[in-house]
Copies of this chain bind each other. A is one copy, B any other.
């Protein structure tokens, strides 16, 4: 059977439309640019270009780099046509995975310290990404964008990331202040404070910095 195109296949195909890459370069590029919209493993990024070749959406040729050879992948016209069709199709719903939040939901199995630890880890993880994107923007100002004509897209996307990271960081601060008032993680239930929060949320209001 011929393989089918997944969203990940289109992501790689879109990268190939920018320029030819080796699979190794694709993994690096995907780390930098796709990571926050469509995070995929290194292993997959090595497999996808092969699939694209099988489907006729890319070609591959060996290049010598010293004594070693490396496989360079290039998009074909059929690949470009496939890309254009993808652009108009339905998107999959977004999806957020955060084990730290799962820990919050079940924090009553552990201590307040466990919960604070989970929040700390979330803060560290988000903080790293946050810093990375701020630095990336600084590099764009010095002409550091690898595809200058695409800067408007990268920057609009970066706006999304910064907003999300700031929101998570503000929420972490808020959550810390809330749990500082908790005597324990268990069986607090609908405290007056929680009722206030619930009322705000039920009216779709933000309890943060009011």
Cβ of A118: which chain B residues have Cβ within 8 Å of it?
91
> Are A149's CB and B96's CB within 8 A?
no
* 5 A-B pairs whose Cβ atoms sit less than 8 Å apart in the complex: A87-B103, A104-B157, A137-B201, A155-B198, A159-B171
Minimum CB–CB distance from A90 to chain B (whole Å) comes to 7
* Cα–Cα distance between A14 and B154 once the two chains are bound (Å): 40
Q: Which residues of B contact A55 (CB under 8 A)?
A: none
Indicate whether A201 sits within 8 Å of B134 (C-beta atoms), given known contacts A91-B121, A188-B149: yes
Chain A residues numbered 57-108 whose CB sits less than 8 Å from any CB in chain B: 83-84, 86-88, 90-108
Q: What's the least CB distance linking A189 to chain B, in Å?
A: 5
Number of A interface residues at 8 Å Cβ cutoff, please give it: 97
With contacts A91-B122, A94-B122 taken as known, whether A163 is within 8 angstroms of B103 at the C-beta atoms is no
The secondary structure that dominates the A interface is helix
Name the contact of A90 in the complex, choosing from B121, B145, B149, B175 (C-beta under 8 A). Answer: B121
CB-contact partner of A100 in B91, B125, B163, B187, under 8 A? B91
Residues in B with CB closer than 8 Å to A152 are: 182, 188-191, 194
A interface residues with partner B (beta carbon < 8 Å): 7, 10-11, 14, 17, 33-34, 36-39, 83-84, 86-88, 90-111, 114, 117-118, 121-122, 125-126, 130, 133-134, 137-138, 140-141, 145, 148-160, 162-164, 166-168, 170-171, 174-175, 178-179, 182, 185-191, 194-195, 197-199, 201-202, 204, 206-208
Does B94 contact A189, Cβ atoms closer than 8 Å?
no
C-alpha spacing A198/B142, complex, angstroms: 11
B14-A109 in contact (CB<8A)? yes
Nearest B-chain residue to A186, judged by Cβ: B149
Most B-side CB within 10 Å, residue of A106, A157, A202: A106
What's the minimum C-beta distance from A122 to chain B, rounded to whole angstroms?
A: 7
- Nearest residue, chain B, Cβ from A95: B97
Q: In chain B, what residue has the closest Cβ to A188? A: B152
